[in-house]
Amino acid sequence: MNTLNTIRKILLAYILLQTFSYGAFSQEKAVKTVPSGRNAEKIVTEENLRAGIEFLADTTFGGRATGSKGACEASMWIGRHFRDAGLLAFSGSYSHTFRTGDLVGRNMIGFMPGARRSVNETYVLVVAHYDTYGSMDGKILPGADSNASGVVAMMNIIGMFQYMKGLGRLYGSNLIFLATDAKEKSSAGAEAFMTALDEGIFRDPVSQAVISKRQIKNVVVLDILGATLEPIHKGRKDYLIMLGSAGERYDLTSANSNPGLGLDLGFDYYGSKSFTDLFHHRSGDQMVFHRNGLPVTYFSSGITRKTNKVEDDSESLNYEVFRKRILLIFHWLTKTL
């Protein structure tokens, strides 16, 4: 009998050990579990994307030309989005004015802290211009694809990162979101930002340390992202062009494997070496950042026959594909921060 009781005690002890070991293992796994970025996908809807594009492309903004009342109102709309998303301001304001000729332009800048290292902080700059040429031959240019699409993409990417922050997920680098004015005036807004950066005007809103160029890990330019009028390959409207480094191409391909994506990716500008160099290095806001020695990644769905024309309205965009592009850029960013 004593032998039987001893065996029972040994078995009970073994079962209890296994139970507590499993519980401790499960608890450890729960602590170490990192929320997937796919949790944030649900906040990006085609309906909200359309509403954002329709708002910015509305004729009441008069085309958002630099120095116009419409551009000022668009900048305030962007600022409200920054505030509502909880972005921090530099020097107490999202709006940073500059002059280009006789006009006053406004860059809108917001800050999202990453997982603070306290030393050797790095920053990723996400950029989209919000201005257009305004009007042509007395007709307003809505600028839906160029570049309300880039601005709306930026706003949704901000929302996705804030959603992940709410789940307790922080990323390695800090994010600076820059909506530039005067891209259509020789990228004066991007020039003004770089001048202010060189002058030490931008201080980290958390640490108050001056941000330097050497701390900027990458500049991500979003310019023309909503239409599907110029596919890379015939019959594939679900496409995206990225001009960047080989490592970034690998990360984009990896992010593209997420369920529901699988876009047709292009890593040059429609197979043309000269146009690839033009759009990556020698035009747009990206030209300014390259000239200042910063690495740049450029995302676009390509210039179309409607770009900078009256026909560039909210109905010319494909919102299903636009949504997928935003999700893919977000997932790529989470891999590179």
Give the CA distances from residue 80 to residues 70, 155, 245, in Å, rounded to whole numbers and listed in that order: 15, 11, 34
How far apart CA 260 and CA 150 sit, in angstroms, is 21
Q: What pLDDT is recorded for position 32?
A: 54
pLDDT in single tens digits along all 337 residues of the chain = 445 444 444 444 443 334 333 333 333 344 457 789 999 999 999 999 999 999 999 999 999 999 999 999 999 999 999 999 999 999 999 999 999 999 999 999 999 999 987 678 999 999 999 999 999 999 999 999 999 999 999 999 999 999 999 999 999 999 999 999 999 999 999 999 999 999 999 999 999 999 999 999 999 999 999 999 999 999 999 999 999 999 999 999 999 999 999 999 999 999 999 999 999 999 999 999 999 999 999 999 999 999 999 999 999 999 999 999 999 999 999 999 9
Report CA-CA distances (Å) from 24 to 19, 28, 201.
9, 6, 50
146 contact partners, CB below 8 Å, separation of at least 6: 132, 223, 224, 303, 307, 308, 312
**Which residues pair with residue 101 across a beta bridge?**
none
Other CB atoms within 10 A of residue 185 CB: 18
Q: Where are the alpha helices (DSSP H) in the chain?
A: 2-32, 46-56, 69-84, 149-166, 188-198, 246-255, 273-281, 284-291, 319-336
pLDDT at 119: 73
CA 32 centroid distance within chain: 27
Residue 325: which residues within 8 A CB-CB, separation 6 or more? 153, 225, 240, 263, 299, 301
Contact 334, 37 (CB under 8 A): yes
Pairing mode of beta strands 95-100, 103-112: antiparallel
Edge to edge, what strands does the sheet with 296-300 contain? Answer: 95-100, 103-112, 174-180, 123-129, 216-222, 296-300, 239-243, 264-266
Distance from C-alpha of 178 to C-alpha of 98, rounded to nearest angstrom: 14
Residue keyed to tokens 């519980």? 23
Distance CA 313, CA 318 (A): 11
- CA dist., res. 180 & res. 182, Å (int): 7
